[in-house]
A and B are shown apart, each in its own frame.
Chain A
Amino acid sequence: MSAPIEVVGWRTRRRVRLRQRFLRRPPAVAGLAFAITAILIALLAPLVAPYSPDAQNFGAALAQPGGPHLLGTDELGRDVLSRVIWGARASIQAGVVATLLAMAVAVPLGLIAGYFRGGWDPVIMRFTDLLLSFPFLVLAVGLAAILGPSLTNATLALGIAAVPAFVRVTRGEVLGLREEDYVVAAVADGATDRVVITRHILPNTVSPLLVQATVTIPTAIIGESLLSFLGLGVQPPTPSWGVMLSSAQSFITQAPWLALFPGIAIFLTTLSFNLLGDGLRDVLDPKALT
């Protein structure tokens, strides 16, 4: 009767130990803190932004940073700080949704290909090869041309583009795990596929998948701003970091701050997710736990 209590105790201890290991990494904690802040700013944009992102004030067009406009104004006299704050919405939404979309499709596929192999493996791998053969921007350009440029279509393109990497990571990991002694032993012991997958395979794919996710979110955030920069994502006047950088190009000598601040916003957001991802990888690495 003591066995279940023992299991719970072990899990709790492991969670506490993981939390302690995470908290001992200042860069990871800083990354987490900034990522949460960025998400909160995006959610609370109407409350946090000092001005409306679309409010034009031609009298104060191209005002330098400082004074009533902390980060200056653009060519239409719109407050850059407010637009940077509102721009967080598009980027973070695209980053998170695209990653979840990719995982929902790719993890089951990678699992099937890697665990059952057989006839499915080549089919799934050719499918990912096909997706991989279209560089993400070509894919996004195509989707934007067919479905029209919008944040949703940009997110869709980013999600599709992230599928092959997730399939490959899952499959590669599962292929390796299948040959591990404890999996071979479990199979020899008569464990069903379901038990082997849920108890031995899936838990061990969590850390590589998490690492892949933390790579994908910032990549997708950069991807969204890139597509918006090219005119294939968020459409002006909706504020987005990419749109802001695109219009800043024309004023690069006159008003360099227009190009500076949206770029810093993208940089800090992606950096925070990357720091968080690195920290999580170190903490979750099963080899480091022993």
Chain B
Amino acid sequence: MGRYLLRRAGASLVVLFLAAVVVFAGVRALPGDPALALAGEERDPESLAAIRAKYGLDEPILVQFWNWLTLALQGDFGESIRTGIDVTDILLSKLPITIELSVLSVLVAVVLGIPAGVLAAVKKDTWIDHTSSGIALFGLSIPNFWLGLMLILGLAIYFPIFPASGYVSPLEDPIGNLMRMVLPAFVLGTAFTAVVMRQMRSAMVESLTADYIRTARSKGLGEFTVVASHAMRNSLITVTTVVGLQLGALISGAVVTEQIFVIPGFGKLIVDAVFQRDFPVIQGAIIVTTAGYILVNFVVDIVYSLLNPRIRITGAAT
């Protein structure tokens, strides 16, 4: 197990390094000279040269990459070109907002999706199955940004139950924070719920017809024990992987959800920075998102191998 862990950790680091290369190269490939963008009105050669020297833009590209990487590893992503604020400070102030939104929407997905999936599988081909599968299909087919607009229209404008947009810190106003997070978390969690439910259902349907379930039943175990401890444990393996695969979609979803509900989180930061050509912010935000995503996937892999010993053994053997 230790070797497997090490191997996975090493692989994750390689991916992270490659991602850093891609992000750095990608940002450098953006059209337009950042020095020109920084200079604003003053475009005489001296001030341009001064700006290039200040931001290290006149160094060879590999030197620039090395400088950026070594500083980034120390948590220093430079300053925002637009506001002059430390990028790390910006990221740290935005990160909790997006994490809160993501955690709440995963919560929505798990709390609604797993029981619905289990119930649909146990009651396969009954009206319960058809109804929950139908709702899941709707959830999967609704574009979440449109759902967001419609919910704002319905539950914030016509029936003003929730605030239409904005954000307050849970430390200042916990109730106000939750009220503002209900609609975004629901919007972000809808498709996720549908995916979890469908995966859980199909995994459970398969588990419930397996030999070991028949054995468990023939041993005289109660139906609840068979479903909850035997079939569910195996089905959760599939669902764990799916949850891991969906996290990228969740981050993408957060970008648009934050745009619609005007939540000043990570997603909004990235989109705004791209439109403002704020290179240090783009680099910092994308690399932190990517690192977070790689970390989560690493954890998912570990959980997966703990749940499924076969993977662990073959993984360690090769």
Contacts and interface: CB of A to CB of B under 8 A. Distances in A.
B262 to A, nearest CB: 11
Interface in A52-91: none
A138 B146 contact: no
A271 B141 contact: yes
Contact of B252 (A138, A168, A248, A263): A138
B69 interface: no
Contacts of A225: 143
B150 A138 contact: no
A80 B251 CA distance: 32
A142 to B, nearest CB: 5
A192 interface: no
B143 A266 contact: yes
A256 B149 CA distance: 10
Contact of A135 (B30, B143, B252, B259): B252
B297 interface: yes
Contacts of A263: 143, 146, 149-150
A131 to B, nearest CB: 10
Given A132-B248, A271-B137, A137 B143 contact: no
A263 B297 CA distance: 33
Q: How big is the B interface, by class?
A: 35 or more
B73 interface: no
A129 B290 contact: no
A226 B256 contact: yes
A137 B11 contact: no
Interface in A250-290: 252-253, 256, 259-260, 262-263, 266-267, 270-271, 274-275, 278
Given A133-B15, A133-B19, A135-B251, A145 B293 contact: no
A139 to B, nearest CB: 9
Nearest to A218: B141
A135 B289 contact: yes
Contact of A138 (B250, B256, B286): B286
B255 interface: yes
B252 A136 contact: yes
B157 A252 contact: yes
Which among A135, A146, A266, A278 has the greatest number of chain B C-beta atoms within 10 A? A135
A126 interface: yes
Nearest to B142: A267
Contact of A133 (B250, B259, B271, B290): B290
A249 B152 CA distance: 10
A243 interface: no
B106 interface: no
B146 A266 contact: yes
A146 B31 contact: yes
A129 B14 CA distance: 10
Given A122-B11, A146-B26, A245 B297 contact: no
Contacts of B255: 137-138, 141, 230
A248 B149 contact: yes
A229 interface: yes
Contacts of B31: 146, 148
Contacts of B26: 142, 146
Contacts of A234: none
Contacts of B247: 135
A30 to B, nearest CB: 12
Majority SS at the chain B contact face: helix
Interface residues of A, number: 46
Given A133-B290, A135-B248, A135-B251, A141 B271 contact: yes
Interface in B215-252: 245, 247-252
B221 to A, nearest CB: 25
Given A126-B15, A259-B150, A135 B157 contact: no
A24 to B, nearest CB: 14
A110 to B, nearest CB: 14
A274 B30 CA distance: 37
B18 interface: yes
A142 B286 contact: yes
B57 interface: no
Contacts of A226: 143, 145, 252, 256
A125 B248 CA distance: 17
A209 interface: no
Nearest to B164: A252
A146 B30 contact: yes
B19 A230 contact: no
B22 to A, nearest CB: 7
Contacts of B22: 130, 134
Interface of A: 117, 122, 125-126, 129-130, 132-138, 141-142, 144-146, 148, 161, 165, 168, 218, 222, 225-226, 229-231, 245, 248-249, 252-253, 256, 259-260, 262-263, 266-267, 270-271, 274-275, 278
Which A-B residue pairs are the 9 nearest by beta carbons? A137-B252, A263-B146, A271-B141, A135-B251, A135-B248, A270-B141, A129-B15, A222-B143, A135-B252
Interface of B: 11-12, 14-16, 18-19, 22, 26, 29-31, 137-138, 140-146, 149-150, 152-153, 157, 245, 247-252, 255-256, 259, 267, 270-271, 274-275, 282, 286, 289-290, 293-294, 297, 318
8 contacts: A129-B15, A129-B297, A135-B247, A138-B289, A142-B286, A146-B31, A226-B252, A249-B149
Given A137-B252, A141-B271, A245-B149, 12 more contacts: A130-B15, A137-B251, A138-B251, A138-B252, A138-B289, A142-B26, A252-B157, A253-B153, A253-B157, A262-B146, A263-B150, A271-B137
